[in-house]
Amino acid sequence: MAAYWNTGTLSFDSSCDICNENIPVWNMNNVWTENPAGLYKDSPVNYHEHNLFGSEQFTGSKQYLGYNENLVCNTNDATSICGTDQPISYIDPYKKSISILHYSNSCISNFYGEQFYIDEETGKLLNLDIPVMWHRRNDVGTASGTTLGMRFTSDTIKKTLSSNNDVEYYDLIEYSGMSVTPTMPLVVGKIFPQLKIVVIDNEELVAAMSYKSNRNYTLPDLSAELVTSVNGNCTGVLKAGETLFMTYWLENVGTGSTGTTTVTTPTLPCQRYTVIDNKTSSDKDVQFRISNVDHLPYMRKREDSGYDGYGFFADSFKVLAQVINRDTQNRPSPSGWKVVDFTSTNITGNSGETINPLLLQNQNPNTTGFILTGSLYTGGTQFNLGEELDMSTAQYYGKMTFGDERLFYGNLRTHIAATIYKSLFNINIDGATIASSSNTTYDFGLDRYVSEIGVLDNNNNLVLVGKLSRPIRLADSTTASIELTIDF
C-alpha cells in the first residue's frame, strides 16, 4: 500500500498519495434474519429466503449487537400490555430486520477519528437526515405533508448492551422539533460511538430505505383489541390461548398506457407486526384501527378537489393476519399469512375511488368495519410476497432482493473523538553560554537570534527540527525558555 504521508518529512499537510480505493461514502447494509410476511420457499417456485439476501454476511453483527434475541414485550412501551390479561395489542418486539450504516474502505485514512463524539453540554450530537416520508413528522396534519425528509438525532444518555456491557451506545431518536410527540420522541435505533456505526431498528424505516420495498414512505402501526365474537360462540378468529399476528398492505392500482389496462404497483406491507393474545376462556374476534390520528401526513385521496400530487395514494387496504398457538409455534410462518381485503366505501367515500386517509384513520372500528372475524380469516387467501415483488427464485440470482442495498442515501453529521499523543520538550537557553552563530554575517559580541530548534538522538543525529514563527533575541545577559511539542 502506498504511504499516506510524504516520506521525506513528518509533515502531514502534503498528503498527496491517498490510495485509489478510498471512497468517502457511508455504506448501508439491511440485514434480515426472518423472511418478511408472505415470502416462502415452497415448490415449485422456491423463492429465495433471507439467508440468500444480499447482506446476509452481516447477520453476525446483528447477533453481536443483541438483535437476534426473541425478546419479550417492552414494558416501557405505552402501547404494550406485555403479558397482562388485558385484551389489548402490542408491537412485536422481535427485530427481523435492521439497517447498519458504516464507513468502510480499503485505506488507512480515518476521516471520523477513533469514535463518534457525543456531548450534550456542548451540543455536539450525531444527526441523520434521511429523504423519506416519515409518518410521524409534525406537518399540519393528515394529508397535508409537503416536505420530504426526516431528521434523527442521538440521545444524550449513554447506555450499554445488556448482552455485552463493554459495548456502549446512545439511542437514535426523532429530532424533537420534527416529531408529532416532541416531548416523547420515538426511538428508531442505536448509535455505537466506539464501533462508529449507526443501527436503525425501526422496521418501517428500514423498509422505506430498502430499494426493493418500492416505497419511500413509512406506515403507522395498527392497534387492536379483543371483542366478543360477532357471529356467536365458537366462531371467533382467536380461540382461547391463541395469538394473532397482523399487519396491513396498501395496494396501488393505476391504469396503463391505453387507459383501460389495470396496472398494479406492488409495495412492501407494513413491517411492524401487531400482536394480540387471547388469554380468555372463550373465542374472540379482533377489532383494529390505525394506531393514532395525524400519522398519515403524506397520504392523499387522488379524487379530492384539493389533490396536490404530493405523497402517495392507495386503492385498497388489506390486512395480513396469522393465528398461531404459542405452545407449538413461536414465530409466524412466512407461508401462513392470509390476506383479507377491508376496502369499502367506509374508507374511500365513494365506490371505485382511492382511500381517504381521514376516513382510514378513524378510531372507531365499527365505523370503518375493521373487525376480523373467524369467517373472514378462514376465507382469506394466502399472501405471496414473492409473486407481488417479483423476487428471485430457484437458481436465478439476477433480480435485486432485500439486502442488496449498498449506499446510504442521506446525510450523517457527527463530531469526532480522537486521542492525541504529544511529546513535549522544554529547552532553556542561556545567552551567556550561546555566544556564537553559524551565520557567516554574525560579528562576535552582537545579540543572537534563535530561529530554529533541533532535537538530536543519543548518537547526536538530528531527528527533528522546529522552526519558530519569529526569531527570539538572545543577549549575553538574557535567557530564553522554549517549549517544543510534536503531536502523533
Structure confidence at residue 80 as a pLDDT band (50, 70, 90): very low
The domain locations on the chain are 27-82+94-212+406-417, 216-384, 422-487
Structure confidence at residue 352 as a pLDDT band (50, 70, 90): very high
CA 22 centroid distance within chain:
24
Rounded to whole angstroms, the Cα distance separating 228 from 349 reads: 28
Burial 385-418 (b: 16+ CB within 10 A, else e): bbebbebbbeeeeeeebbbbbeebebebebeebe
| Mean local confidence (pLDDT), 458-472 | 87
User: Is the sign of the CA dihedral 136, 139, 144, 147 positive or negative?
Assistant: negative
Q: Which three cell numbers stand for residue 38?
A: 408472505
CA angle 357, 143, 352 (to 5 degrees): 40
pLDDT at 258: 43
In Å, the largest CA–CA distance within the chain is 116
Rounded to whole angstroms, the Cα distance separating 101 from 198 reads: 5
Backbone angles phi, psi at 427, to 5 degrees: -120, 120
Q: Which one has a higher pLDDT value, 309 or 465? A: 309
pLDDT at 111: 56
- Do 473 and 447 meet the contact criterion of CB atoms below 8 Å apart? yes
Asked if the model's pLDDT at residue 76 lies above 50, the reply is: no
| Mean local confidence (pLDDT), 118-135 | 94
Give the predicted TM-score (pTM) of the model.
0.81
Q: Which of 329-337's residues contact partners 24+ apart within 8 Å by CB, and which partners?
A: 330/70, 331/34, 331/70, 331/94, 332/37, 332/245, 332/273, 333/40, 334/35, 334/36, 334/37, 334/38, 334/39, 334/40, 334/49, 335/38, 335/40, 335/42, 335/382, 337/37, 337/38, 337/382, 337/383
Asked if the model's pLDDT at residue 108 lies above 80, the reply is: no
Q: Which three cell numbers stand for residue 357?
A: 386517509
pLDDT at 19: 60
Amino acid, single-letter form, for residue 445: G
